[in-house]
Amino acid sequence: MADVRPVRALRYAPSIDLAAAICPPFDVISPEQQRALHERSPHNAVRLELAEETGAGRYGNAADALRSWLAEGALVRDDAPCFYLYRQTFERDGKSYSRTIIFARLRLQPWEEGAVLPHEQTFGAPKEDRLKLLRAIRLNTSPVYLLYRDRESHVAPLLDSFAEAGPPDTEFATADGQRHALHRLSDPATVAELTKAFAGETLYVADGHHRYETALAFRDEARATAPKWTGDEPENFALVALTAADDPGLLVLPINRVTNIEMPADEARQRLAQLFELTPADADHAAISIISRGGTAGLHVKDAEAVDRLMPPDRSPEWRRLDYSIANHVVLQYCLGLTPEQMRDYSRLWFTEDAAEAVAEVQGGKATYAVLMRPLPVAQVLDTADAGERMPQKSTFFYPKVPTGLVFNPLDS
C-alpha cells in the first residue's frame, strides 16, 4: 500500500522570481546549461541541485547556498503540511499540452514490497553523487516522478474539484514558453481525501530511479545510527510528484543513443546485415534507425532467433523483444562493438531525446553513430514494471521534466 502524505515544504519567498529560480533535475543539465543557470539568478535552484565544483566543492557549495538562503529569508517553510497541485502547460511540435501533478511525501519502501515499482535499470555513480548531496544538505531538491493508474477514478475528481475551487497560489511563465500554476491544498478534509485516494494505488517510477534508491540508502544510514527508530522520522519519506498514467499531458519521447565508437562503417554494416533488413530509414517508420557518416538505415529484425541468442538469457521473452533491449545488446554491443564498460561510459555513449541533435553530432564529427528510437507507450512501461522487469537504462524520456525549485522537502524534524 502506498503511503502518500502532505509535505511541509520549503519554498521560495514571494520576492524571488520563480521563472529565474527553477531549474531541470540534475541528470539532464549539461555543463553549458549549468553555467547558464548559475548566471541566471543568485537563487537559482541549480546551486543546490548541481552546484559548481569551485571553492568548497559541489556539496559544500550547496550547503553554503542553503544556509545563506535560509538566513536571508529567500527560502521559507510553509506553516503546515500540504499537498501541492501543479499544472504545467507546454508545447511540443506545435501542439499544446497541460499536465497535472501532485507534490507530496511518500513513505519509502523497498522495491520488493510492491507499493512502488521501477521500470529502468540504475547505475552506481549517480546514486553516489545524490547520496553525498543528501548528506550535505538534508533536503530533497528534485522529486521522484511517479505515475499511478487511478483505475477506480478516486483521484481525478478530487483534483478537478480542487483546481476549480480558486486561483492558484503561484503562477508564472518561463522563457521556454511553459506556464506554471501551483495550488496549495492544506484543508484537513482535502488532505485526508487525497491520502485515502492514493492508498489503494500502485506507484510507478517514471523519472528518478536513482533518487529513490538514494533516498532508501539515506534512510538506512540514519536508521543504523539512531538510538531509537519510530518509522516516522523525516528520512523515511521522499519528495514525489505524481501524475495519472492517462493524463492527456503525459508525453513520452524516445531516447536516442549516440556513440563515438571506432567501428569501421563497412564492418558495422556487414554485422547489421546479418541480423537486420536494412531499409531507407524514413520510408517505413522503422522501430530502430542507425545514422553513420555513410548514411541512414532503418533496422528490421530478419533473424529473430539469432537476435534472441545475443540477449541476456535470464530475461523474459517480452523483455528480449523490446526495441531498447535490442538497441543496447544487439545494435550497440554486438554490431558496433561497445563493451559493457563502454556502455556505462558517458564519454563513449550518450543519450538525447532530440533526434536532430543526434544526427548533427554524427554529421559534425563528434560521434560516429547515432541509434534513433521510437517512443514507448506508457502502458508498456507500466506493464513491464508490473511483470517485475526493468527496461534498459534511458528507455523513456518524460517531457518536459518536472522543475526543481517549486517545492523542497527538508529532512529535519
What single string gives the DSSP state of each residue in 174-188? -TTS-EEEEEEE--H
Contact 19, 172 (CB under 8 A): yes
Q: How far is CA 278 from CA 85, 289, 323, in A?
A: 48, 9, 16
The pLDDT assigned to 283 comes to: 46
The pLDDT assigned to 404 comes to: 98
pLDDT digits (tens, 9 = 90+) for 307-322: 999 999 999 888 999 9
Contact 291, 356 (CB under 8 A): no
CB neighbours of residue 342 within 10 Å: 17
Place of cell 555513480: 125
CATH 3.30.1760 residue ranges in the chain?
255-374
Which pTM does this prediction carry? Answer: 0.92
The pLDDT assigned to 338 comes to: 97
Closest by CA to 384, choosing from 201, 114, 117, is 117
Place of cell 525549485: 405
All residues at 6 or more sequence positions from 183 whose CB lies less than 8 Å from its CB, including other chains: 84, 85, 86, 162, 163, 166, 168, 169
What CA–CA distance (Å, rounded) separates 118 from 45?
A: 27
pLDDT digits (tens, 9 = 90+) for 215-237: 999 999 999 999 999 999 999 99
- Each of the 413 residues of the chain gets a pLDDT tens digit; together they read 899 999 999 999 999 999 999 999 999 999 999 999 999 999 999 999 999 999 999 999 999 999 999 999 999 999 999 999 999 999 999 999 999 999 999 999 999 999 999 998 887 889 999 999 999 999 999 999 999 999 889 899 988 888 777 899 999 999 999 999 999 999 899 899 999 999 989 999 999 999 999 999 999 999 999 999 999 999 999 999 999 999 999 999 999 999 999 999 999 999 999 999 999 866 456 789 999 988 899 999 999 999 999 999 999 888 999 999 999 999 999 999 999 999 989 899 999 999 999 999 999 999 999 999 999 999 999 998 998 899 988 899 999 999 999 999 999 86
Q: How far is CA 51 from the centre of its chain?
A: 19
Contact 401, 92 (CB under 8 A): no
Kindly state the DSSP code that residue 236 receives in the 8-state scheme.
Answer: G
Q: How far is CA 124 from CA 121, 213, 303, in A?
A: 10, 10, 35
The pLDDT assigned to 206 comes to: 96
> CATH assignment of 255-374?
3.30.1760
Kindly state the DSSP code that residue 401 receives in the 8-state scheme.
Answer: P
The pLDDT assigned to 282 comes to: 60
The pLDDT assigned to 382 comes to: 93
